A and B are shown apart, each in its own frame.
Chain A
Amino acid sequence: MEGLTLSDAEQKYYSDLFSYCDIESTKKVVVNGRVLELFRAAQLPNDVVLQIMELCGATRLGYFGRSQFYIALKLVAVAQSGFPLRVESINTVKDLPLPRFVASKNEQESRHAASYSSDSENQGSYSGVIPPPPGRGQVKKGSVTHDTVQPRTSADAQEPASPVVSPQQSPPTSPHTWRKHSRHPSGGNSERPLAGSGPFWSPFGEAQSGSAGGDAVWSGHSPPPPQENWVSFADTPPTSTLLTMHPASVQDQTTVRTVASATTAIEIRRQSSSYDDPWKITDEQRQYYVNQFKTIQPDLNGFIPGSAAKEFFTKSKLPILELSHIWELSDFDKDGALTLDEFCAAFHLVVARKNGYDLPEKLPESLMPKLIDLEDSADVGDQPGEVGYSGSPAEAPPSKSPSMPSLNQTWPELNQSSEDTAIVHPVPIRMTPSKIHMQEMELKRTGSDHTNPTSPLLVKPSDLSEENKINSSVKFASGNTVADGYSSSDSFTSDPEQIGSNVTRQRSHSGTSPDTAAPPPPPPRPQPSHSRSSSLDMNRTFAVTTGQQQTGVVAHPPAVPPRPQPSQAPGPTVHRPVDADGLMTHTSTSPQQIPEQPNFADFSQFEVFAASNVNEEQDDEAEKHPEVLPVEKASDPASSLRVAKTDSKTEEKTAATAPANVSKGTTPLAPPPKPVRRRLKSEDELRPEVDEHTQKTGVLAAVLASQPSIPRSVGKDKKAIQASIRRNKETNTVLARLNSELQQQLKDVLEERISLEVQLEQLRPFSHL
């Protein structure tokens, strides 16, 4: 850049500002975030700030070196003086006053909030006396700090040469990315920054050369009470959000402020739309993240594998432990890969961390991948208080593409896995593949709502259903070979319910489902049973019609498929809690049972249920559960692995009921279990295990009965869905446990049988004699 001549005062002032912004103590480069805040505090229009940045060369370089910073400051002064921004003006304009920064000196302002009105009178008197922050007016510091607040607040209306407020500037209110954003209207992040920037204040206070008095004052303010900060923020441009939060206090202060500052704040407010949440990603930031995502993964619907993400985020030079924690937070579905949403969340967290924010223990809601309701998309930003959404639905493996071919590809895998009964270890399962893809697709298509990736979902439900189907099928590839329809329905169920659920819990649930489902892979079912195919069609139909609302099928496929597994029937029969008597018959008839599944897969009932209210369904199912439970006795509705079919039916039923409870108005794929139950009745006779099962079923009934109580409200669908997902997961866990217990019992029974047979054999020769 051109040579910059600075007066001594300017030199000192600029160096102080540089130190203020140089929180990383690099002595060479200042943190962009700080710089941007500083510029914002200068109360210049955004385009002016942008222009300044370009002129000083920071845009070109991507960072603010010392020279750039000084030039920028000079340009700020130029702009504030009303001179046109020109590169040459930095040297040509004589007697340029020091740039004014109406930093929200949180502490001081808050301190003097009460005395604002009285101080406002002093503004005029001090306006001309405002000493440059570094060095001068030290004597006045003590008294001026108080007054400087006022001049600062109304700086824009004041003459230039307001005291440097930069040190008192509000701490970085928003997590700025490393790169420079033209503007960070992230005033909303003021909440967090307040805590994080507290410590910065004291060092800066000390950095103030010669302003001993001021230092004392400033350092004393180091840990400003958050509320005061908010109050003071209202005064500064970035505090647009604060205005919303503390309207009363803000107004008290703003009344003191000049109209000009208010208008500036309004401008900023407009820019920083929806900044209720300090973790909200601004549009610019999001765009930046998206661009970065593209550099790694050109397909916005694709995934960034863990290794690539690791390299990328390692560049941020954060400690590995923190990066690991960020990953844990942002990898919502625990699939080892990052979707666009997850990547943006991770990037945002990294930026926040670099700017001094502490990492949250849980992923903030605004950063959660919004995979559910489009209707809630608009409320994403307005729901900071919503409890964590249930579950990160497992995503389809990164390899999957939302197309039918992927579905076909997964089938061979499923078949293999189904035959391999030994698959028991928890397999990471994506629960919500399609949603994410759909969202991203829509996001790309519409490119509208950055913060609400789910909004586009509403646009094309048919596409979503397609993708859901495919994704869901892929999803179950790992552990649940499910019929197409089931898988799709599953995806539907899980997708809407992803958001906010406890990731850990989700994980465990998904872990349990593979446990239960792994042994008996689903694939056989769709093939032998034609009814299933028909049901599949219906599933698709439902999927299409209900769009993402088809959450009802969540656990069905996984639960059911394993049972009918013919290959597994003979093999794992030993492990199945089949009656001793019925063991052989069951194993032999297991293949036969598959075709009998049509009852099971009677989707006509689905339609019936679909029409009915979800609550009704839930109630019905809840009622039926008690009915069925006594009937089935041994058949553990939750996890009885009796016979492939039986188990699948029961599981499906319970799964169906669980998801049905969850889904609001979603296609009730649960109904089939009811007719299935009747069939199971006959099988119940074969089951000796009564006591434990009744107990378990009782428990299960209780669990399931508690589920229907989800009230259906349009506005709370997401929440309810997530809650129901949680419950479903819990149910799954319970079922899995029951399953394992029953298996154990089966083993015991088989051993008894064997021993009895041996005895019989021994006795037989005697009988012949």
Chain B
Amino acid sequence: MAVCVAVIAKENYPLYIRSTPTENELKFHYMVHTSLDVVDEKISAMGKALVDQRELYLGLLYPTEDYKVYGYVTNSKVKFVMVVDSSNTALRDNEIRSMFRKLHNSYTDVMCNPFYNPGDRIQSRAFDNMVTSMMIQVC
């Protein structure tokens, strides 16, 4: 289950971060923050590779004993980071991909809203609902 979902802006500040309340949120915030380094590493490694969907999805960034952190970066260097519980029977890769795709779509919808200023925190209810569904459903 996605215990934590975060949307990081290009400048590496969070646009949206949400964790399941049961856990210590600070821990997840820290994990997401540290995962940014891994994301940057992977982005630079890609180099001039064609940006196709597969490369948008970074895959498993790093596993810990309890959690796995997955990353996804858009063409505009907006990063999505998802922390899933390791105890969950390993989610298939394509499921993670589809989750990121949904995230990306919802993010696009938020962007399309003229009342949203890029760089603001994401306060869209639709986005929240989508993330909630993701956090509940996957578990």
With an 8 A cutoff between CB atoms, is A522 at the interface? no
Determine the interface band of chain A, counting residues with CB < 8 A from chain B: 35 or more
A737 to B95, CA, bound (A): 7
* Residue of chain B at shortest CB distance from A306: B114
Q: Given A327, A421, A510, A733, which contacts B113 in the complex, CB threshold below 8 Å?
A: A327
Instruction: Assess A328 versus B114: contact at CB under 8 Å? Given A507-B109, A738-B94.
Output: no
With an 8 A cutoff between CB atoms, is A428 at the interface? yes
Contact indicator B124/A426 (Cβ below 8 Å):
no
A596 to B4, CA, bound (A): 48
With an 8 A cutoff between CB atoms, is A251 at the interface? no
Contact indicator B116/A424 (Cβ below 8 Å):
no
Contacts of A310 in B (CB 8 A): 114-115
Contact indicator B98/A504 (Cβ below 8 Å):
no
Q: Given B54, B114, B116, B129, which contacts A743 in the complex, CB threshold below 8 Å?
A: B54
* A321-343 with Cβ < 8 A to chain B: 321, 323-325, 327-328, 331, 334-336
Chain B: interface secondary structure?
Answer: helix
A327 to B127, CA, bound (A): 13
With an 8 A cutoff between CB atoms, is A153 at the interface? no
Distance to closest chain B CB from A579 (angstroms): 19
Contact indicator A508/B105 (Cβ below 8 Å):
yes
| Chain B residue total in the interface (Cβ 8 A) | 33
With an 8 A cutoff between CB atoms, is B136 at the interface? no
Contact indicator A421/B104 (Cβ below 8 Å):
no
The stretch among B11-19, B45-53, B61-69 that forms the contact with chain A is B45-53
Contacts of A736 in B (CB 8 A): 98, 101
Contact indicator A512/B109 (Cβ below 8 Å):
no
Distance to closest chain B CB from A86 (angstroms): 48
* A477-536 with Cβ < 8 A to chain B: 503-504, 507-508, 510-512, 515, 518-519
With an 8 A cutoff between CB atoms, is A32 at the interface? no
* A286-330 with Cβ < 8 A to chain B: 305-307, 309-310, 313, 320-321, 323-325, 327-328
Instruction: Assess A336 versus B106: contact at CB under 8 Å? Given A321-B123, A424-B53, A508-B101.
Output: no
Instruction: Assess A741 versus B93: contact at CB under 8 Å? Given A309-B114, A324-B113, A334-B109.
Output: yes
* A733-748 with Cβ < 8 A to chain B: 733, 736-738, 740-741, 743-744
With an 8 A cutoff between CB atoms, is A425 at the interface? yes
* Residue of chain B at shortest CB distance from A425: B75
Q: Contact string, B107-122, partner A, CB cutoff 8 A, digits 1/0?
A: 0110011111000000
Contact indicator A504/B56 (Cβ below 8 Å):
no
Q: Given A325, A519, A572, A737, which contacts B97 in the complex, CB threshold below 8 Å?
A: A737
Contacts of A743 in B (CB 8 A): 54
* Residue of chain A at shortest CB distance from B116: A324
With an 8 A cutoff between CB atoms, is A575 at the interface? yes
A421 to B55, CA, bound (A): 13
Contact indicator B93/A575 (Cβ below 8 Å):
no
Contact indicator B52/A426 (Cβ below 8 Å):
no
Instruction: Assess A504 versus B50: contact at CB under 8 Å? Given A334-B112, A425-B104, A737-B95.
Output: no
Contact indicator A328/B56 (Cβ below 8 Å):
no
Contact indicator B124/A328 (Cβ below 8 Å):
yes
With an 8 A cutoff between CB atoms, is A8 at the interface? no
Contact indicator B52/A519 (Cβ below 8 Å):
yes
Contact indicator B74/A425 (Cβ below 8 Å):
yes
Distance to closest chain B CB from A565 (angstroms): 13
Contact indicator A426/B104 (Cβ below 8 Å):
yes
Contacts of B105 in A (CB 8 A): 426, 507-508, 510-512
Contact indicator B94/A740 (Cβ below 8 Å):
yes
With an 8 A cutoff between CB atoms, is A157 at the interface? no
Contact indicator A504/B126 (Cβ below 8 Å):
yes
With an 8 A cutoff between CB atoms, is B125 at the interface? yes
A516 to B108, CA, bound (A): 17
Q: Contact string, A426-446, partner B, CB cutoff 8 A, digits 1/0?
A: 101000000000000000000
Distance to closest chain A CB from B84 (angstroms): 17
With an 8 A cutoff between CB atoms, is B102 at the interface? yes
* Residue of chain A at shortest CB distance from B75: A425
Contact indicator A512/B101 (Cβ below 8 Å):
yes
Q: Contact string, A604-646, partner B, CB cutoff 8 A, digits 1/0?
A: 0000000000000000000000000000000000000000000
* Residue of chain B at shortest CB distance from A742: B94
Contacts of B129 in A (CB 8 A): 504
Contact indicator B93/A336 (Cβ below 8 Å):
no
Distance to closest chain B CB from A662 (angstroms): 21
Contact indicator A422/B50 (Cβ below 8 Å):
yes
Contact indicator A306/B112 (Cβ below 8 Å):
yes
A307 to B54, CA, bound (A): 33
Contact indicator B114/A733 (Cβ below 8 Å):
no
Contacts of A424 in B (CB 8 A): 51-56
Contacts of A515 in B (CB 8 A): 53, 101
With an 8 A cutoff between CB atoms, is B36 at the interface? no
Instruction: Assess A740 versus B97: contact at CB under 8 Å? Given A328-B126, A424-B51.
Output: yes
A331 to B126, CA, bound (A): 12
With an 8 A cutoff between CB atoms, is A361 at the interface? yes
* B32-50 with Cβ < 8 A to chain A: 50
Distance to closest chain A CB from B64 (angstroms): 24
Distance to closest chain A CB from B30 (angstroms): 29
Interface residues in chain B, defined as those with a beta carbon under 8 Å from any beta carbon in chain A:
50-56, 74-75, 92-95, 97-98, 101-102, 104-106, 108-109, 112-116, 123-126, 129-130
Q: List 28 interface pairs A-B (beta carbons < 8 Å), by A numbering.
A: A305-B114, A307-B114, A310-B114, A310-B115, A323-B115, A324-B123, A328-B109, A334-B108, A335-B112, A336-B112, A336-B113, A422-B52, A424-B53, A424-B55, A425-B51, A425-B53, A425-B75, A426-B101, A428-B108, A504-B106, A511-B102, A572-B52, A575-B54, A736-B101, A737-B94, A737-B97, A737-B98, A740-B54
Q: What would 18 more interface pairs be, CB under 8 Å, given A424-B56, A510-B105?
A: A306-B112, A306-B114, A313-B115, A327-B114, A328-B109, A334-B108, A423-B52, A424-B51, A425-B53, A428-B108, A503-B126, A504-B129, A508-B101, A511-B104, A733-B98, A736-B101, A737-B98, A740-B97
Q: Which 5 A-B pairs have the closest CB atoms?
A: A306-B114, A511-B105, A424-B53, A324-B115, A310-B114
Interface residues in chain A, defined as those with a beta carbon under 8 Å from any beta carbon in chain B:
305-307, 309-310, 313, 320-321, 323-325, 327-328, 331, 334-336, 361, 421-426, 428, 503-504, 507-508, 510-512, 515, 518-519, 572, 575, 733, 736-738, 740-741, 743-744
